[in-house]
């Protein structure tokens, strides 16, 4: 078997991809992309310097692009109010009466829950929607149209 520079580049690419799969660090895939570009440069006949420069430029550019994309991306909502993490968010609930402190006790999913009003103004009895879950307390706001 002939071990040349392109073989080394492809091996480095494979090692970086395996490390990314083990660690979950997406940036390693960007560096692996640079190594793959170095291998392609070798296949196209560039010398060692051209391969290294190509790998460095592609890897650095890909890493910088991915970092800029992550910085611009909006952050996830807190888990207490994130619908993707808690399927109860947005569900309707009936509140029969409110206490003077803006709290109530309701039955939800067959169990008693403490409810705290998270809307604006004075809480009124009736239909509300769950906007967050804080421990064993539901935070609710008036349902649309109420």
Domain ranges of the chain: 5-72, 79-142
Is the pLDDT at 144 greater than 90, yes or no?
no
Point out which residues pair with 132 in neighbouring strands.
139
Tokens 């520079």 belong to residue: 5
pLDDT digits over 69-85, tens only? 988 888 777 777 777 77
What CA–CA distances, in Å, run from 126 to 64, 81, 92, 98?
A: 52, 21, 10, 10
pLDDT of residue 52: 95
pLDDT digits over 83-98, tens only? 777 888 889 999 999 9
Assess contact for 125 and 131: CB atoms under 8 A: no
Alpha helices by DSSP H, listed for the chain, are: 5-23, 27-43, 48-72
pLDDT of residue 25: 83
> What's the angle, vertex CA 51, arms to CA 48 and CA 52, rounded to 5?
85
pLDDT over 90 percentage in the chain: 57
pLDDT digits over 10-41, tens only? 999 999 999 999 998 889 999 999 999 999 99
- The DSSP bridge pattern shows strands 92-95 and 111-117 to be unpaired
Q: What is the CATH number of domain 79-142?
A: 2.40.50.140
pLDDT of residue 146: 55
């Amino acid at each position: 078997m002939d071990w040349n520079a392109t073989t080394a580049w492809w091996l480095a690419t494979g090692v970086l991809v395996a490390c990314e799969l083990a660690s979950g660090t997406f940036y390693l895939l960007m560096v692996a992309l640079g190594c793959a570009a170095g291998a392609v440069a070798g296949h196209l006949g560039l010398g060692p310097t051209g391969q290294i420069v190509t790998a460095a430029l592609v890897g650095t550019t890909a890493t910088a692009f991915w970092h800029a994309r992550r910085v611009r991306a909006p952050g996830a909502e807190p888990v207490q109010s994130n619908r993707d993490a808690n399927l109860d968010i947005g569900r309707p609930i009936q509140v029969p009466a409110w206490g003077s402190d803006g709290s109530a006790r309701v039955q939800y999913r067959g169990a008693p829950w403490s409810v705290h009003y998270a809307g604006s103004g004075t809480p009124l009895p009736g239909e509300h929607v769950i906007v967050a879950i804080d421990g064993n307390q539901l935070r609710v706001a008036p349902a649309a149209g109420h």
